[in-house]
Chains A and B, each alone.
Chain A
Amino acid sequence: MTRKRMIHAINDALAEEMERDERVILIGEDVGASIFGDTRGLLARFGPRRVRDTPISEALIGGMAVGAAAAGYRVVCHLMYANFVYTAFDAIANQAARLRLMTNGQIRLPVTFIAAGGGGRSNAGQHSDYPHTAVAGLGGIYVATPATAGDAKGLLKTSIRADDPVFFLQPTSRGGEMGEVPDGDHTVPLGKGRVAREGGDVTVVAVGAMLRPALRAAETLAQEDGIEVEVVDPRTAFPLDETLILRSVGKTGRLIVVDEARRAGSLAGPIAALVAEKGFATLRAPIIPVTTRNLAIAYAPPLEKAMIPGPADIAAAVRRSKETTT
């Protein structure tokens, strides 16, 4: 194990995969300058043939990633902020997510679209979305939502090796956070979550950047209320690790879903539907979503803080769940 910042773990994953397979290429906006630090040094190390700074042309570079992958390369396409997924959406939605089916498998697309999403930095209305379900709703593309340095590295390595497209959504506000990263060729499978903290009273499924406030809330609840929260990190927003979520809810009978995505596009809906269908008998209280409100992210720090879930919101939801018994 080595302690690293998430952004360095991502950088390691990119470097290791480029080293491992010379058909891995990296294209995107400012991958040389690297505003987040995740691609820093790769241009110097691997050269301008394989690491290419592109114009600010998301529609083009998204589609080029698809075309180059169809023609035999393993492409990492850096879209910078996750909101720019929207400007690249034809490539992702109409091309990447469906060419496998439309061509009956003649085309497989090893493309990883990587971007940083989420609020907390006053990046305001067009640089703060966490749009995993916009992509998950397409069905044909994996969506990785890493929350820790170790998972970020392991999921990215798996994403680059996958023969189908992946949207790798790193949390903008967590890049500097330290975490344990296993040594060696560390990979994390897509579609498998993990229990981040064990507990028998209430299940909290926390997506991406919400893991940290969920763990903080769990700590407070254990100390102040004697409530033992089980925190589940799905790690991949699509496809969901249904077994893991159902197993935890089967144990606790209570479920909170914490997601930085807006309520209308959060995982609270799909997870509630899953548990209502397959875990209904185990529920002892209503499922409570804790999400960002159905609004664009506001700029002023008190506004932003008020609209994105924090430890107090999560703890309040857990207490409310615990007080209800059906």
Chain B
Amino acid sequence: MIPNDPAARSIDLLRGMLTIRKAEERLARDFKAGALPGPVHLYIGQEAVAVGVCAQLDARDWITSTHRGHGHFLAKGGDPRAMFAEVYGRSTGICGGFGGSMHVADVSKGILGANGIVGGGIALASGAALAAQLDGAQRVGVCFFGDGAAAQGVLSEALNLAALWKLPLLLVCENNGFSEFSPSSGVIAGSIAGRAEPFGVPGRQVDGNDVEAVAEATAEALERARGGAGATLIEAATYRIHGHVEGEHAFLKTQYRADEEIERWRGRDPVARFAATLVERGTLDAAAVEALAGEIEAAVEAAADSAAEDPYPEPAELDRHLLGAA
């Protein structure tokens, strides 16, 4: 939900980004400590996209997410403690420990799940948009995907059909510069936003490290979708500060990006940048920003600490998901 008061709205945006940042930093430390059972793909540096988009959505709207999905989960209202428990593989996890980091989902919040298949959410979100259209409830289906997924054929298929059926669909490409371990300049030709135009779907590029710019582009796309005019593709330019997957240096022999490039993008950090903007505007003072960050960090740490104490699921629980089991 969007508060009416602009100051409160801005603080909510900052709060949302800080929550993701603090949660991801915790998971980075957990990984280093060997406390995670599987791989994690961190969202640090991209927070403005999830928060900017989800700030404009309602509970009724559906999202699909990616292997780098913690940010989308939290921004759409997913519970941090249930997310930590899931990443830790515990029975109290949002998916009972059955899904893990790459598959966090909370259908009650409209989060249809994070997908470990690059581009896997595009068709699912299109289907949710079809359901939304059939419901006639002005819901939308939103798909977060990366620049890597722009090379999947299903994106063209979705643009084609979304245009024909005027699906209430929002395709949000987070162009973070990398297709796993390959700089996208070597594997993605042309403009990603430009892929929409031949189909008659608006394609818009936005600064993905500017949360307000993302929110504004989203609001415009939602107005179009809810008004029955169809889909929009938003390409948000951002940067993946961490690697594709935590611990990648252990198995990669060569560096695939320059340290200077990472440092350059650190200078455009979406969280610090927006905090500075709020201080500049007088919405918050520096001490208030620090207090907010401290408060969020304490809450995130408490959620994680508590989730880490939870039990693993029992192997007998597997039977519940056999075909024929109610």
Q: Please list the residues of chain A having a beta carbon within 8 angstroms of any beta carbon in chain B.
A: 25, 27, 49-50, 52, 54-55, 57, 59-73, 75, 90-91, 94-95, 99-107, 139-142, 164, 191, 238-239
Contact = CB atoms under 8 A, between A and B. Distances in A.
B98 A101 contact: yes
Contacts of B107: 70, 103, 106-107
Contacts of B120: 63, 90, 94-95
Given A57-B161, A60-B154, A71-B62, A101 B321 contact: yes
B55 interface: no
A160 to B, nearest CB: 16
A142 to B, nearest CB: 6
B125 interface: yes
B105 A106 contact: yes
B321 A68 contact: no
Contact of B126 (A63, A75, A94, A101): A63
A319 B182 CA distance: 61
Majority-rule SS of B interface residues: helix
Contact of B321 (A73, A100, A142): A100
Interface in B99-127: 99, 103, 105-108, 112-113, 115-117, 120, 122-127
Contact of A104 (B99, B115, B124, B134): B99
Nearest to A90: B117
B323 A102 contact: no
Interface of B: 62, 64, 93, 95-99, 103, 105-108, 112-113, 115-117, 120, 122-132, 134-135, 141, 153-154, 157-158, 160-161, 164-165, 320-321, 323-324
A101 B134 CA distance: 27
Contact of A67 (B98, B106, B127): B127
A251 to B, nearest CB: 26
Given A100-B321, A164-B323, 18 more contacts: A25-B134, A55-B157, A63-B154, A64-B123, A66-B123, A66-B127, A67-B62, A67-B112, A67-B127, A67-B141, A68-B128, A68-B131, A68-B134, A71-B132, A75-B127, A103-B103, A191-B323, A191-B324
A142 B153 CA distance: 28
11 contacts: A60-B157, A64-B127, A66-B127, A67-B112, A67-B126, A102-B98, A104-B95, A106-B107, A107-B105, A140-B323, A191-B324
Q: Which 3 A-B pairs rank lowest in CB-CB distance, beginning with the nearest?
A: A63-B123, A67-B127, A71-B131
Contacts of B98: 101-104
A59 B131 contact: no
Given A102-B99, A103-B107, A104-B95, A59 B323 contact: no
Nearest to B113: A103
A55 B132 CA distance: 20
Contacts, number: 139
B93 to A, nearest CB: 8
Nearest to B91: A104
Contacts of B134: 25, 49-50, 68, 73
Given A55-B164, A60-B154, A90-B117, A68 B127 contact: yes
A103 B99 contact: yes
Nearest to B136: A49
A59 B128 contact: no
A52 B164 CA distance: 12
A203 to B, nearest CB: 24
B127 A63 contact: yes
A103 B102 CA distance: 11
Contacts of A49: 134
Most buried by A among B96, B123, B141: B123
Nearest to A27: B130
B86 to A, nearest CB: 9
A103 B105 contact: yes
Nearest to A49: B134
Given A60-B126, A67-B64, A107 B160 contact: no
B128 A70 contact: yes
Contacts of A106: 95, 105-108
Nearest to B97: A104
